[in-house]
Amino acid sequence: MVEFSQKSLDLFYMVSSNLDSFRKFVFESNFLNAYEIEPEVVKRIKEDDIELLKFSLSWLRFTMYGEGDFKVREDARKQAKERLLLKEKNR
């Protein structure tokens, strides 16, 4: 049995039931700055809903289970660690 945080469950719901929200998440947030995504893939998921759905499910599997070949940019990884340390420090 695996337990997920509320954030993980919210992401699961978004990816599995609201492709428009996922599209906004990818293209209107810091997502493309955080992950190394090939330009051809970005073009495909921008133009084709089926490709976006496949991408969303692959990303969800990576996020929830650590499976897949997504690569987090090193600067994004450092920023996330810094935010986490700051959050813990302010508790």
- Which pTM does this prediction carry? 0.79
SS3 state at 35: strand
Question: For the chain, where are the alpha helices, taking DSSP H only?
Answer: 6-17, 19-27, 31-34, 39-47, 49-65, 74-89
Check residue 82 and give its pLDDT.
86
Check residue 84 and give its pLDDT.
84
Kindly report the number of other CB atoms within 10 A of residue 5's CB atom. 8
* Cα 55 from Cα 67, distance rounded (Å): 13
> Vertex 63, ends 58 and 65: CA angle to 5°?
90
pLDDT at 81 over 70: yes
